[in-house]
Amino acid sequence: MPLLVMKFGGTSVADLARIQNAAQKVKREVERGYDVIVIVSAMSGKTNELVGWVEQTSPLFDAREYDAVVSSGENVTAGLMALTLQEMDVPARSWQGWQVPIQTTSAHSAARFLSIPRENIDAKFAEGFKVAVVAGFQGVSPEGRITTLGRGGSDTTAVAFAAAFSAERCDIYTDVDGVYTTDPRITAKARKLDKIAYEEMLELASLGAKVLQTRSVELAMRYNVRLRVLSSFEDTDETSGTLVCDEDDIMESKVVSGVAYSRDEAKMTLVTVEDRPGVAAAIFGPLAEAGVNVDMIVQNISEKDLGGRTVNVTDMTFSCPVNQVARARKALEDAKAAGAIMYDDLVSDTDVAKVSVVGIGMRSHAGVAATMFKALAADGVNIKVIATSEIKISVLIDRKYMELAVQALHDAFALETAN
Ligand code: ADP
Ligand code: ASP
Ligand code: MG
């Protein structure tokens, strides 16, 4: 039997009527002759509520219990989806991660897949079940504890199942009808893309476009999964949505293909650090050990007069998620107290956002940075930190200018039109 993976995100299973609507889409594919693996998220808002309960109960929570709690939202929707399908005379059953069993690492709240054995689900298809409804976002560790894959992880569950079961396609049903040139909630000029290259989608996702979890795109790229994003609220067919595919399969090639943003960033600066070999290691080592995800880094070397003797000093600036500032501060203050690093001051700016432009065309075109900086300057947006790679340029700016910057860049690179 040909097999499809269909994933429904939180807003697509937000209540019983929406679960019905999603189940209708599944039934249609079964009638077309497919076996279907359905991956479900928790009802929208549920995971946030569960995270809130954990944080209220225990601020420095045990990550294993965090996972036990926050994974539970998906158990509810998996069962409800299976029941809804049964009511429609579609033979279906639900699977929690451990029942498959979806084996993951024991990195709680950020676990990675180790393996997805097919036997149990294949046996049920062989018995005549047409649909396996699998709870997204969760798995089981080698120690037998429930794990979760990080926020947005159901996308990754879907792609991993598509790879493990050699699915014809992995369809991600969500509340927008595809991948756009930027978040359509930020500008009405955002344009839906028919196709996007894996690498561009990977950059957009990792720079904040939450339409797909970064890891899901990585897996799709590695295992060559035909990955599609489409609307759960519209009638759809084989041509709907956006296909994430190889660069070679794309005709359109703009230099910049999308703008991404990440709202909750922070910038921290260690003021007047002695400039000597090993100083970066002494700073970023403790941060890594404390689990701080450092993103951009800049260092400004200058000279300082120490009573007649001139020494080289540096200001070291880095960015990290805003909710990790307290942890970063503690790690750096502890390192200072232990004599491992010396600095005069530690300044944090928690009102910044990151805006990025992405495009594989940048590999062969100069001038993208200049266009970007000019567009931001024209709107009076000050750039605090810059980072570039082969196919992206990111800037850190004041958060209050984030929407404005996204719109300005979307205009500057003429993303509203296809050519
Ligand atoms: P789900 O609950 O279905 O997983 P998410 O909320 O995780 O849905 O992701 C869908 C959202 O991603 C959209 O509602 C949209 O606001 C946002 N988004 C951000 N960037 C983009 C983009 N470039 N294209 C489409 N959607 C985007
Ligand atoms: N429910 C989880 C979350 O909100 C996983 C997902 O929806 O993909 O992050
Ligand atoms: Mg999502």
41 lines ligand 2 (CB under 6 A): yes
Give me ligand 3 centre to Cα 317, in Å: 31
What is the residue extent of each domain of the chain? 3-175, 260-417
Residues with beta carbon inside 6 Å of ligand 1? 9-12, 41, 152, 174-176, 179-180, 182-185, 204, 209-211, 258
- Per-residue pLDDT, 327: 92
Closest-lying ligand 2 atom to the alpha carbon of residue 157: 8
Give me ligand 1 centre to Cα 174, in Å: 7
Residue with CA closest to ligand 1 atom 10: 211
174 lines ligand 2 (CB under 6 A): no
42 lines ligand 2 (CB under 6 A): yes
Ligand nearest to the CA of 178: 1
pTM of the model: 0.93
Give me ligand 3 centre to Cα 183, in Å: 13
Residue with CA closest to ligand 1 atom 11: 211
Distance CA 293, CA 285 (A): 12
Closest-lying ligand 1 atom to the alpha carbon of residue 155: 4
- Strand 146-148 versus strand 195-197 pairing type: unpaired
152 lines ligand 2 (CB under 6 A): yes
Give me ligand 2 centre to Cα 155, in Å: 8
Give me ligand 2 centre to Cα 146, in Å: 15
78 lines ligand 2 (CB under 6 A): no
Give me ligand 3 centre to Cα 212, in Å: 6
CATH number for the domain running over 3-175:
3.40.1160.10
Question: Into which CATH architecture does domain 260-417 fall?
Answer: 2-Layer Sandwich (3.30)
Let me know: does 268 contact 328? Beta carbons within 8 Å.
Answer: yes
Per-residue tens of pLDDT for the chain, all 419 residues: 899 999 999 999 999 999 999 999 999 999 999 999 999 999 999 999 999 999 999 988 899 999 999 999 999 999 999 999 999 999 999 999 999 999 999 999 999 999 999 999 999 999 999 999 999 999 999 999 999 999 999 999 999 999 999 999 999 999 999 999 999 999 999 999 999 999 999 999 999 999 999 999 999 999 999 999 999 999 998 899 999 999 888 876 789 999 999 999 999 999 999 888 999 999 999 999 998 999 999 998 888 887 888 888 999 999 999 989 999 999 999 999 999 999 999 999 999 999 999 999 998 888 999 999 999 999 999 999 999 999 999 999 999 999 999 999 999 999 999 87
Give every CB contact of residue 274 below 8 A, 6+ residues apart in sequence. 311, 312, 313, 314, 342
Closest-lying ligand 2 atom to the alpha carbon of residue 149: 5
Full 3-state SS string of the chain:
CCEEEEEECHHHHCCHHHHHHHHHHHHHHHHCCCEEEEEECCCCCHHHHHHHHHHHHCCCCCHHHHHHHHCHHHHHHHHHHHHHHHHCCCCEEEECHHHCCCEECCCCCCCCEEECCCHHHHHHHHHCCCEEEEECCEEECCCCCEEECCCCCHHHHHHHHHHHCCCCEEEEEECCCCCECCCCCCCCCCCECCEEEHHHHHHHHHCCCCCCCHHHHHHHHHHCCCEEEEECCCCCCCCCCEEEECHHHCCCCCCCCEEEEEEEEEEEEEEEEECCCCHHHHHHHHHHHCCCCCCCEEEEEEEEEECCEEEEEEEEEEEEEHHHHHHHHHHHHHHHHCCCCCCCEEEEEEEEEEEEEECHHHHCCCCHHHHHHHHHHHCCCCCCEEEEECCEEEEEEEHHHHHHHHHHHHHHCCCCCCC
Query: CA nearest 148: which of 73, 43, 49, 67?
Result: 67
- Per-residue pLDDT, 60: 81
Closest-lying ligand 1 atom to the alpha carbon of residue 213: 7
Residue bearing tokens 């070397």: 301
261 lines ligand 2 (CB under 6 A): no
